[in-house]
Amino acid sequence: MYNLFKLDNGLRVVVENIEQFNSVSVGLWVENGSRNEDAVNNGISHFIEHMMFKGTKRRTSKQIAEAIEDIGGQINAFTGKEATCYYVKVLDSYLELGLDVISDMLFNSNFAEEDIEKEKGVVVEEINMSEDSPEDVLMDLHSIAAWGQESISRPILGYEHTVRGFNRTMLVDYLQSYYIPENCVISICGKVDMSNIKEIVEKYFGDWACNKKSITKYNNPEILKSNLFRKKDIEQLHVTLGIPGIEVGHDDIYTLILLSNILGGGASSILFQKIREELGICYSIYLFISSHINVGTVNVYAGLNPQYIKEALETINFELKKFSTDSISKEKLTKAKEQLKGSYILGLESTSSRMFSNGKSVLFKDKINTPNDVISRIDSINHEKIEKVMDMTFRKGIYNSAFVGKDSTLLKDIYKDNLDEFSFNHTKI
């Protein structure tokens, strides 16, 4: 049973009651992330997420954690390019406590100068840890290859020089501008008394009002055709290849997911079978979708010995062209639909996963996608829809690429004058 309503202050609330569960998950979704930032405050959304856990007027940092963990619950948060989410999962009898803790963090966080300085060191270490991960470096590099100077290309963590520049005034001003009811959603899923849930949410969030208001709106950035390499003293060469995709919430997103699964979604996919199983030239290869507001990409990732890069690129390009022109048999389409439905349903077998799904859907598209709606959309995929999505995505071919490895010599031979070396100074965008 679902209920979607809006408080007088503009805060949207989505509630899903599941009687057979004994838990409840609560999430505060904020339509704000690194895509809202500029070159000076890059990383501030993620930093604010950290600071929310550092203590309030009512609770110390330890007491915030203990309030939920002492009753066997979970509390956490994450920041993305377009959204930040604070969430708890508790037994259903502690629903109000979950709402109380999240509202306390939202309205009463101290942002003490001493805590800010300490947390700068923590976040810088997180950035350093990300720098030690070739895959993380690659993803940030590919964002720049795909979007250039657009805000969507900025890393979620920011850079050390931006994080070191944060102060209390910057943080509070940013919070008051973007953390407003109109940009937010409360998502609740689990065993919930639907008769009084609106009054309970009103109790904790009904008085929320802000003078400064920055209603989140995003532009339509152009997908660039560029190729970037960043030097890292590692043995493997890590690769991502970008293909135009479709935006989050698009009517044809499930058709794209289905096609992506066939091409590179698992061990039975075309690319895995060809590149790893048949040719044996890499350990890891897969395809993933990055769908954002107004824009999206489809990406192929591979990690391999640099000596195989030419063969890998040629094979991937060949298989991509073949995939986009060959017809998908009725039998294969049926199997792909069942696979997609199965993974979708299995992914919803917890209150937290359903809370995430509902919250994100309402935040970005102002509607609920029920499991029945999604299954119906998957069942409706036909060859006409496949042709439409093929034209929008795979048939356009590879637009951009990013590489992280020790040596770019082989890549320069392949790309000639179309590959740019990337140094740290270029990251200040």
Predicted local confidence at residue 349, as pLDDT: 81
Q: Could you tell me the two tokens for 317?
A: 């390009």
Largest CA distance in the chain: 67
Instruction: Judge whether 138 and 238 are in contact, CB under 8 Å.
Output: yes
Q: Could you tell me the two tokens for 151?
A: 């805000």
| 174 contacts: CB under 8 Å, gap ≥ 6 | 41, 44, 45, 48
Predicted local confidence at residue 427, as pLDDT: 45
- In three-state secondary structure terms, 16 is strand
Domains belonging to the chain, first-starting first, are 2-205 (3.30.830.10), 227-427 (3.30.830.10)
Which residue numbers are catalytic?
Answer: 49
In whole angstroms, what is the distance from residue 49 CA to residue 105 CA? Answer: 10
Residue 281 CB coordination number (10 Å): 18
Q: At what angle do helices 253-264 and 371-379 cross, to 10 degrees?
A: 70
Instruction: Judge whether 292 and 82 are in contact, CB under 8 Å.
Output: yes
In whole angstroms, what is the distance from residue 322 CA to residue 218 CA? Answer: 35
Instruction: Please report which residue ranges of 109-210 form alpha helices under DSSP H.
Output: 113-131, 134-147, 160-163, 168-178, 197-205
Q: Which amino acid is at 290?
A: S
Q: For the chain (length 429 residues), average pLDDT per consecutive 10?
A: 94 96 96 95 98 97 97 97 97 97 98 97 96 95 95 96 97 94 96 96 94 78 95 96 95 96 94 97 95 95 96 97 94 94 87 95 93 93 96 97 95 90 56
**From residue 73, how far is each of 25, 51, 171, 226 by CA, in Å?**
10, 21, 29, 46
Predicted local confidence at residue 428, as pLDDT: 41
In whole angstroms, what is the distance from residue 147 CA to residue 211 CA? Answer: 33
Predicted local confidence at residue 424, as pLDDT: 53
Predicted local confidence at residue 1, as pLDDT: 87
Instruction: Please report which residue ranges of 242-366 form alpha helices under DSSP H.
Output: 253-264, 270-271, 309-325, 330-346, 351-365
| 180 contacts: CB under 8 Å, gap ≥ 6 | 10, 210, 212, 213, 214, 215
DSSP states along 176-192: HHH-SGGGEEEEEEES-
In whole angstroms, what is the distance from residue 205 CA to residue 209 CA? Answer: 9
Q: Which amino acid is at 261?
A: N
| 364 contacts: CB under 8 Å, gap ≥ 6 | 31, 82, 83, 248, 249, 293
**From residue 207, how far is each of 7, 179, 210 by CA, in Å?**
10, 14, 10
Instruction: Judge whether 187 and 85 are in contact, CB under 8 Å.
Output: no
Predicted local confidence at residue 426, as pLDDT: 45
